[in-house]
Structure 1
Amino acid sequence: MEPFSFINAILSYVETRVKGKIDYDELTKTTGYSLPYLRELFACQMNKSLSRYVLERKIANAAFECAYTDKSFLHIGSEYGLDNPDSFTRAFRRIVGVTPTEFRKRKITVKRTRLCASCYGIELPILNDPLTRGGNHMETPRLDQDEAILLGVPQVQYGPESLTPFPCCLKACANYIGIDVSYDYVMAASGAAFRLTWDETGWNLGNVDAIFTYDDPVRVFRQGIEALGCHFQILWREKDTPKSAFISFIKNQINKGNPVIALGIIGPPEACIITGYRNDGETLLGWNFFQNNSEFSGSITFDDSGYFVTEHWWDNPETLAVMSLEPGDGNKANLNTMIGHAVEAMTGRKHGNYAKGLLAYDAWMKAVANDKDFSDGLVLPLLAERLFTHDDAIDCLLDGRYQAAVFLNKAAEQYPEHKSLFEQAAKHFMAVYELHAKLFEVLGGWERGEAQMHQFAQSDVRRQTVQLIHQAKESDEKAYAILKQLAEVV
């Protein structure tokens, strides 16, 4: 094996198993070298011991977690096989130059770097002194390779406060390329925090997808990405769009070290992240919110990194678009612009089959109150369709209005002259958020099981539900009025 290939193999092996402990017996079988010879050759080529390199990669990834998550240092250390808090702190300080606490306090930027010809990972931040940050320099990647993978891109998945795929993907990708941004910011900047949409023609399971936030389907994506100071580009799958165009788009971005946000790939046309390619782009890797769902996982496998691996992404008719966020001037959107966009998203209006903004509440209440859609003996699949559409609307408010309140409370501290208005708007949005518990309570729980389906079919339950939706609308109307005031004075 040539030294170049040897090093690539070792670095890729380590990076895909950076959490936990490295199995050196497996490594020797993978490379075909004895462990003593492997260590000797690695040290000769890399000018450092293998054990030191492994520790550095663990600390680099741990530093990323310190910078962009709220996880405890105990949790982070444990994830990377450094279970003893004192050992983790000492190793972190020895390699980075400061303790994890100081690192998080100073909000030091962590981004990706090219580890080898076809593998990107988290850059190791080295603080040589209190004012100077050193680290690995990102080389220009080879453009003639038939595979490349960006390792260390944060996983995206549904959680209590991460229910909107596009902003989740946007935050993960932004953090990976070195942009320090929070979930509440990308929810507000894209407009997704302020959306509500309802298809008046039927029970549409895609009702509240972020793509419907504005009347222009591209706007939520462009607005969210450009609000980070990044360049935005999107390629839609039209009738005559060749697969090769998608592959070229994806390879171009991955070769630059930038993850790609896609719609579809696995399952529904929701946002996901493409983190790499193989077989010259025929095979894709990444994170998808539905990759573990049995109804969608039959044709995929998984990389050691946890990324999905699929060769059938183009066969999925729901694969609709790919989009890029390339680092630009770094100038984020100003607050006045963001408030104006929030007002636009909340303004009641009709567009095609959809009632949007505050008007969506009326369409939602009308659908829930329609007894004809809940006749006796309605088959379970139709009951499921109704419940899931209704619950998705609740989740939209749960996630969106909570993040809107968090964002506005932060703005209140930054703009003390308007603090009262920001806090009042945040209070009304929190009132909407808090109603989610009551909406789920009348259904008998947040689960989407058969019991909840039959409960939702009962007329008295739906009457209570309509009253709660009306309360949410009233609170949203108050927040909307204050946002319009803020748009005039900020």
Structure 2
Amino acid sequence: MHVHKLKQVEEIKDFRPKKVPHMLKVVQEERLSKMHKEYTLKSKMRDDYNFSGPRCPEDLEFSASLRALVDYLGEDMGYRILESMNWRLDKSFIYLMGVTGEAFSAPMTPEPAKSYERAMKAIGYDYKLYFSQREDSYVHGEHFESGLRDDIEFYEGKGKIRDLIVTHISEKESPVIVMGLLDAPQGCVVVGYKDYGETLMGWNFPSTYSTNNTPTYIEVSHWYEKSYGVLLVMDKEEKLNYKEGYSLAFYDAIDYLKNEEGLKEWKKVLADQTMDMDDKMTEELFFKAVNPITWDYAERRWYAARFAEQAIEYLEEYKDILEKIMKCCDQQHNYMYEMASLIEHSPGHHMNKELLADENIRKKMIRVIDQCRELDQDVVELLKKMK
């Protein structure tokens, strides 16, 4: 009796491995048969990208991806000409830099969950967020705790998230933002796919300091290994009116500007007198502290000034305060250029290693960071007067 039961178990154990692969193949083939092998959405993007003057650089990753989405959906705010540079200054990008908090936060700071919430409300679309649970993912958890929606999901494995992207594009007829699709952690607006989603196609704004900042059409294979998150654009809904959008952005800006951790870390690195300033060490110091605090910070605060300037149309009662905020943020932008000049550094070029190795030069750089921090505090006090 016991032997017979044992034999039955062995037969079952032998039976399952032979049948499961076949069953999985059938399920997979059935799934693929219901999907388009390739699909591309029709774009609503404007056809005037070949503007006679160059675009103003739009090289802050998070807002750049959302800005591409806004263009694709045909929801842009238009642009004005920055006459001093003959640049086309896009109003949507400026607005998104403010409502996401990117204009007021510190460089290299991951976007908190409320940035996505604010951005999608500002452009008038519901959304769903998915983040990868891979250990090497850009997402580290803590900065997403504040403001997380209940319906956020974390995914493991390529299959589910690929099917979500493919189904959303082909059936929902809606674009998808895939974060980390390229080397930098910006999002790309995915509008199509090939080979059942093995290759994704979409629009991206380069994250480089370039006046030739036009949208780039890309096709990316092996995207799962590079990406860390997906934002599905859901149904259109009533968006925030601009007065409310600007007001909420300034309210959030107070918390962003109070965060001193980034500036403190750069000061700490520059003040370290134990470093042996050989060529390798100056290179590491440059990429760890100097480059992000100069150009990244300069860009953020320059757009913060433009955001305050643009807000005057909707918040006329705070015109005097907004003009003072503009002045503070523009000064921070200028301070960063002064800091870069101390080591003969300019966008796209290397610095003078001997100057960076000079302790006295680094002390001057620290003083510039302190001046920027003082201006951040001044802006906080001005914003409190608007509450």
TM-score clears 0.5: yes
Determine the C-alpha separation between the residues in 2 that align with 1:384 and 1:221: 34
Q: Secondary structure at the match of 2:240?
A: coil
Does 1 or 2 have the higher relative contact order (CA < 8 Å, sep 6+)?
Answer: 2
1:188 aligns with 2:98: yes
Q: Say if 1:263 and 1:271, in contact at 8 Å, map to a contact too.
A: yes
2:311 alignment partner in structure 1: 411
Match of 1:164 among 55, 60, 64: 60
Determine the C-alpha separation between the residues in 2 that align with 1:458 and 1:274: 47
Give the CA deviation at 1:481. Answer: 0.8
CA RMSD of aligned residues (A): 2.7
CA displacement 1:272-308 (0-9 Å, x = unmatched)? 332321011111123456799xxxxxxxxxxxx9632
Match of 1:251 among 166, 170, 173: 166
The alpha-carbon distance between structure 1 residues 257 and 385, as it changes in their structure 2 partners (threshold 3 A), is farther
The alpha-carbon distance between structure 1 residues 325 and 484, as it changes in their structure 2 partners (threshold 3 A), is farther
Determine the C-alpha separation between the residues in 2 that align with 1:367 and 1:460: 14
Pairing 1:72-87 to 2, within 5 Å after superposition: none
Amino acid at match of 1:184: I
* TM-score, length basis structure 2: 0.70
Q: Which consecutive unaligned segments of at least 5 residues does structure 2 have?
A: 1-33, 50-54, 78-91, 135-154, 209-214
The alpha-carbon distance between structure 1 residues 340 and 384, as it changes in their structure 2 partners (threshold 3 A), is same
Amino acid at match of 1:161: P
Q: Secondary structure at the match of 1:341?
A: helix
Determine the C-alpha separation between the residues in 2 that align with 1:472 and 1:462: 15
Determine the C-alpha separation between the residues in 1 that align with 2:207 and 2:272: 35
Amino acid at match of 1:361: L
Give the CA deviation at 1:311. Answer: 2.2
- Which stretch of the first structure deviates more once superposed, 359-368 or 186-195? 359-368
CA displacement 1:17-40 (0-9 Å, x = unmatched)? xxxxxxxxxxxxxxxxxxxxxxxx
1:83 alignment partner in structure 2: none
Query: Percent same amino acid at aligned positions?
Result: 22
Q: Secondary structure at the match of 1:273?
A: strand
2:36 alignment partner in structure 1: 145
Q: Secondary structure at the match of 1:332?
A: coil
1:237 alignment partner in structure 2: 132
The alignment of Structure 1 onto Structure 2 pairs a total of residues equal to 301
Give the CA deviation at 1:358. Answer: 3.5
The alpha-carbon distance between structure 1 residues 291 and 468, as it changes in their structure 2 partners (threshold 3 A), is closer
Amino acid at match of 2:252: H
CA displacement 1:379-422 (0-9 Å, x = unmatched)? 52x43332123211222322211111111122223332221111
Determine the C-alpha separation between the residues in 2 that align with 1:388 and 1:448: 13
Give the CA deviation at 1:222. Answer: 2.7
Q: Secondary structure at the match of 1:414?
A: coil
Q: Say if 1:368 and 1:466, in contact at 8 Å, map to a contact too.
A: yes
Give the CA deviation at 1:170. Answer: 0.3
* TM-score, length basis structure 1: 0.56
Give the CA deviation at 1:465. Answer: 0.8
Q: Secondary structure at the match of 2:69?
A: helix
Match of 1:366 among 257, 261, 268: 268
CA displacement 1:199-255 (0-9 Å, x = unmatched)? xxxxxxxxx23524xxxx433223222222211211111256121122122123322
Match of 1:385 among 265, 270, 284: 284
1:49 alignment partner in structure 2: none
Determine the C-alpha separation between the residues in 1 that align with 2:119 and 2:109: 11
Determine the C-alpha separation between the residues in 2 that align with 1:223 and 1:388: 31
Determine the C-alpha separation between the residues in 1 that align with 2:350 and 2:250: 41
2:231 alignment partner in structure 1: 323
1:286 alignment partner in structure 2: 202
Amino acid at match of 2:72: Y
Determine the C-alpha separation between the residues in 2 that align with 1:421 and 1:233: 36
Determine the C-alpha separation between the residues in 2 that align with 1:474 and 1:461: 20
The alpha-carbon distance between structure 1 residues 439 and 146, as it changes in their structure 2 partners (threshold 3 A), is same
Q: Secondary structure at the match of 2:237?
A: coil
Q: Say if 2:68 and 2:203, in contact at 8 Å, map to a contact too.
A: no
The alpha-carbon distance between structure 1 residues 309 and 360, as it changes in their structure 2 partners (threshold 3 A), is closer
Q: Secondary structure at the match of 1:192?
A: coil
Q: Which consecutive unaligned segments of at least 5 residues does structure 1 have?
A: 1-142, 197-207, 293-304, 348-356
Match of 1:267 among 183, 194, 212: 183
Give the CA deviation at 1:367. Answer: 1.8
Q: Secondary structure at the match of 2:385?
A: helix
Q: Secondary structure at the match of 2:285?
A: helix
